[in-house]
A and B are shown apart, each in its own frame.
Chain A
Amino acid sequence: MAAVVSQRKKLANRIMIAAVLVTTFIMLIPIYWIATTSIKSFSDAVAVPPKIFFQPEMTGLVKVFTKRTQLRAPKYKITDQTLESLEADGVPGDVLVELAAVGKLYRTESQFTDAVNEALGPERATDYLALVVRYATISDPTPEKYADARWYEKLIYDSGEKILRASPYPNRLWNSVLISIVSTVLSVAMGTLTAYGFSRFRVKGEKDWLFFILSTRMLPPLVIIVPLFLMYRAVGLIDTHLGLIILYTAFNLSFSVWLMKGFIDEIPVEYEEAAMIDGYTRFEAFRKIVIPQSVTGMAATAVFCFITAWNEYAFALVLTARRAQTAPPFIPSQVGSGLPDWTAIAAGTVLFLIPVVIFTFMLRNHLLRGVTFGAIRK
């Protein structure tokens, strides 16, 4: 067949490939944007026009994993240390004595210089002011602290902040992984069993049941979020892993049932009947014949369920706060006071994308066969 491809077909083929490439390119732009933003400095990230070439840095990534506070402005105070340093630099003793009287802590440089001027008089003040200010400045962090700091601490100091403690982001990611995986396993397992029942047995009102199952997906989730919140509060499921797992499983189940029914319907019932006659129970036949045959379908269903649970935002935002909070509501909560820190948000998002990419990549063979199922069956 391939040998007799006409010129026109060849051309059409090339155009198709070009179209696919262009589409892929367009689709990848947001990913590229997020990925680059995550390794830009804050000023590069918000630059207009956007910067294509930039010095990559890890600040955004460090920010996701830390709780930070703004550095304080420098303060000024003449301490014993200041006096010793001045003496070492050859400042005369009488000046030092007078300076020692300026014992107060000053919050701005102008107040401090005013005080020094007053203490020393204008003439001497002009001679020594620069030195005095240098030695009396208490910066945040102190130079010693800065010198001792680890590389990531320095990055944060450089951006005008200091680290208070580690952020709960790893914990939130873990919550996401746990909740998504458990709810995916549950919805695929329950969906497969339900679909098998609908596919193989005469169920009274089968069409109505299936429609009913699907109808659970027919209204926007936000509509039920308030009653759900009240119910969850009443039974103590707020901010628990179990709460989200139940919710996501229920949410994905209808989808899972419908998808799996399609796959199982395609498996000839003769296989199981043969197995049952060959001395196996229905459940054994299901396990040994139907499950291996529907692995593809289960993989495709699992990917869809996983992505839905992984990306869910609204319920997670409302129903969890700390203990069971997932990554999606956590990432934007990093928008602190002032300008949103896009580098931190982008870094969080990139990390958030990785598990789902890995999961999908692992199942890619099944997925491709899964979504083209029916079309390529003999």
Chain B
Amino acid sequence: MAAIRLDSVTKKYDGVIAVDDLTLEIQDQEFYVLLGPTGAGKTTTLRCLSGLESAHEGRVFIDNKDVTDWSPANRDVAMVFQQYSLYPNYTVRENLSFPLKSRIRNITPDERNRRVEYVAKTLRIDHLLDRATDKLSGGEMQRVSIGRAIVREPQAFLMDEPLSNLDAKLREALRLELKRLQRELGATLLYVTHDQVEAMSMADRIGVIRDGVLIQSDKPFEVYNRPKNVFVAGFVGTPKINFLEGHVTDGNLTLKGTTDTFRLKTEVMDKIGNVSGEVIVGIRPEDVNLQQQQDENTCAAMIYLVEHMGMENWVSVRIGEHQQIRAVTDSAFEADVDATIYYSFEQEKLHFFDQNTEDSLVL
């Protein structure tokens, strides 16, 4: 396995920039997830890396070798696609051995069989080996495509939303399996997805990308707790983070459209460089506290909706005229719609963003 580096890669389609000056480094044996919405340039990045597309500018390095002008075959990376990934009219065994039959690899038939059997066993598809690929379920299909990637023992794995065509339960199971496999193989893996749950659950590091620009590249914990801007904060986390417009003066935070004012702690103010003026405040639902009694650092709100999720409740409350906040409470929480409730924030968990640039104000 090998490290991967993209150096200022730019790719345009018909003059539209798909990937914009993107620099990315993936360590050897790292599980790196490229996370972003549809059309963000994730797949294009992957294709530039695999050699299916050539970048207009910038260099691509695999194992510290400049492979920018190499063909996909010579780059020796394996790719798992979202769909249509298995060769039709071939059995599972033929699919698995197809990469090994390439002229650029010189593998004896015995070695080929050994590897196919081994991979089939690892992925628990050995009972399917002689089946035609169109007789497989979706999960089995993706397992075979992952197998086809593994069997080659490549420099790196590239996966383009391999789980997104599967149903939720299967996705969860395969997520675990993929993570375990990556650890066992010590594989360098670049995984592209729009599903933040997949990213958070599997990644060693997450790169959040939008409009071809890599916004933040960090460990999942950092991405979640120290988002670089409003987009990252909003993209990661379920239920979604609350964004509130507010005003900071002399260490007091006033939410827009209300008279609700919170006195911010000094360490919080220090963290954001003692800003004053209009800000966007982000607070994750689990960091919103709801209580029946009023005290000095709470404000009144009205219950809007209670969603029972089983292990917890998601409670939406209305503050002022237009703003809404969602809070996560334990499942015992009960309240009538339109009842008055008092809310406060875990101040250390507040995120502050510049109103114009939407960048985080945290220093």
| Min C-beta distance of B54 to chain A, whole Å | 13
Pair B71/A276 contact, Cβ less than 8 Å: yes
Pair B87/A275 contact, Cβ less than 8 Å: yes
Which residue of A has the minimal Cβ distance to B148?
A278
Which of A62-70, A266-274, A337-345 lies at the interface with chain B? A266-274
Pair A270/B85 contact, Cβ less than 8 Å: yes
> How would you classify the secondary structure of chain A's contact residues: helix, strand, loop or mixed?
helix
Known: A276-B52, A292-B89. Contact between A268 and B99, CB under 8 A? no
Pair B98/A275 contact, Cβ less than 8 Å: yes
Which residues of chain B (59-109) have a CB below 8 Å from chain A? 71-73, 75-79, 81, 83-85, 87-89, 98-99, 102-105
Pair B52/A273 contact, Cβ less than 8 Å: yes
Pair B84/A277 contact, Cβ less than 8 Å: no
Pair B73/A279 contact, Cβ less than 8 Å: yes
Pair A271/B87 contact, Cβ less than 8 Å: yes
B contact residues, total (Cβ < 8 Å): 26
Pair B83/A270 contact, Cβ less than 8 Å: yes
What B residues does A292 contact at CB under 8 A? Answer: 89
What A residues does B89 contact at CB under 8 A? Answer: 292-293
Pair B102/A280 contact, Cβ less than 8 Å: yes
Which residue of A has the minimal Cβ distance to B83?
A270
Q: Does A139 contact B (CB under 8 A)?
A: no
What A residues does B50 contact at CB under 8 A? Answer: 277
| Min C-beta distance of A123 to chain B, whole Å | 98
What A residues does B210 contact at CB under 8 A? Answer: none
Q: Mark B35-66, 1 if CB is under 8 A from A, else 0.
A: 00000000000000011100000000000000
Q: Does A289 contact B (CB under 8 A)?
A: yes
Which residue of B has the minimal Cβ distance to A270?
B84
Q: How far is the CA of A279 from the CA of B106 in the complex (A)?
A: 11
Which residue of A has the minimal Cβ distance to B145?
A274
Q: How far is the CA of A275 from the CA of B78 in the complex (A)?
A: 10
Q: Does B152 contact A (CB under 8 A)?
A: yes
Pair B87/A277 contact, Cβ less than 8 Å: no
Which residue of A has the minimal Cβ distance to B104?
A279
Known: A277-B79, A278-B148, A279-B104. Contact between A268 and B72, CB under 8 A? no
Which residue of A has the minimal Cβ distance to B88?
A293
Q: Does A365 contact B (CB under 8 A)?
A: no
What B residues does A270 contact at CB under 8 A? Answer: 81, 83-85
| Min C-beta distance of A292 to chain B, whole Å | 6
What B residues does A274 contact at CB under 8 A? Answer: 79, 81, 85, 87, 148
Which residue of B has the minimal Cβ distance to A268?
B84
What B residues does A289 contact at CB under 8 A? Answer: 87
Known: A273-B52, A274-B79. Contact between A279 and B85, CB under 8 A? no
| Min C-beta distance of B46 to chain A, whole Å | 11
What B residues does A284 contact at CB under 8 A? Answer: 103
Q: Does A142 contact B (CB under 8 A)?
A: no
| Min C-beta distance of B64 to chain A, whole Å | 21
Q: Does A281 contact B (CB under 8 A)?
A: yes
Identify A278's interface contact among B71, B88, B98, CB under 8 A.
B98
Known: A270-B81, A270-B83. Contact between A277 and B72, CB under 8 A? yes
What A residues does B105 contact at CB under 8 A? Answer: 279
Q: How far is the CA of A293 from the CA of B134 in the complex (A)?
A: 14
Which residue of A has the minimal Cβ distance to B79?
A277
Pair A271/B102 contact, Cβ less than 8 Å: no
Q: How far is the CA of A270 from the CA of B72 in the complex (A)?
A: 13
| Min C-beta distance of B332 to chain A, whole Å | 49
| Min C-beta distance of B119 to chain A, whole Å | 14
What A residues does B78 contact at CB under 8 A? Answer: 277-278
Q: How far is the CA of A293 from the CA of B72 in the complex (A)?
A: 22
Pair B79/A271 contact, Cβ less than 8 Å: no
Q: Mark A295-323, 1 if CB is under 8 A from B, else 0.
A: 00000000000000000000000000000
What A residues does B85 contact at CB under 8 A? Answer: 270, 274
Q: Mark B193-215, 1 if CB is under 8 A from A, else 0.
A: 00000000000000000000000
What B residues does A268 contact at CB under 8 A? Answer: 83-84
Pair A271/B84 contact, Cβ less than 8 Å: yes
Identify B73's interface contact among A271, A280, A293, CB under 8 A.
A280
What A residues does B71 contact at CB under 8 A? Answer: 276, 281
Pair B77/A279 contact, Cβ less than 8 Å: no
Among A279, A281, A289, A292: residue with most chain B CB under 10 A: A279
What A residues does B104 contact at CB under 8 A? Answer: 279
Pair B87/A279 contact, Cβ less than 8 Å: no
Q: How far is the CA of A292 from the CA of B98 in the complex (A)?
A: 15
| Min C-beta distance of A273 to chain B, whole Å | 5
Which residues of chain A (240-299) have a CB below 8 Å from chain B? 268, 270-271, 273-281, 284, 289, 292-293
| Min C-beta distance of A132 to chain B, whole Å | 86
| Min C-beta distance of B48 to chain A, whole Å | 13
Which residues of chain B (1-56) have a CB below 8 Å from chain A? 50-52
What A residues does B98 contact at CB under 8 A? Answer: 275, 278
| Min C-beta distance of A205 to chain B, whole Å | 14
Q: How far is the CA of A273 from the CA of B50 in the complex (A)?
A: 10
Pair B84/A279 contact, Cβ less than 8 Å: no
Q: How far is the CA of A279 from the CA of B149 in the complex (A)?
A: 11
Which chain B residues have a beta carbon within 8 Å of chain A's beta carbons?
Answer: 50-52, 71-73, 75-79, 81, 83-85, 87-89, 98-99, 102-105, 148, 152
- List 21 A–B pairs whose Cβ atoms lie within 8 Å, in order of A's numbering: A270-B83, A270-B84, A273-B52, A273-B81, A274-B87, A274-B148, A275-B87, A276-B52, A276-B71, A276-B73, A277-B51, A277-B72, A277-B77, A278-B73, A278-B148, A279-B73, A279-B76, A279-B103, A279-B152, A280-B102, A293-B88
4 closest pairs, A vs B, by CB? A279-B102, A278-B99, A268-B84, A270-B84
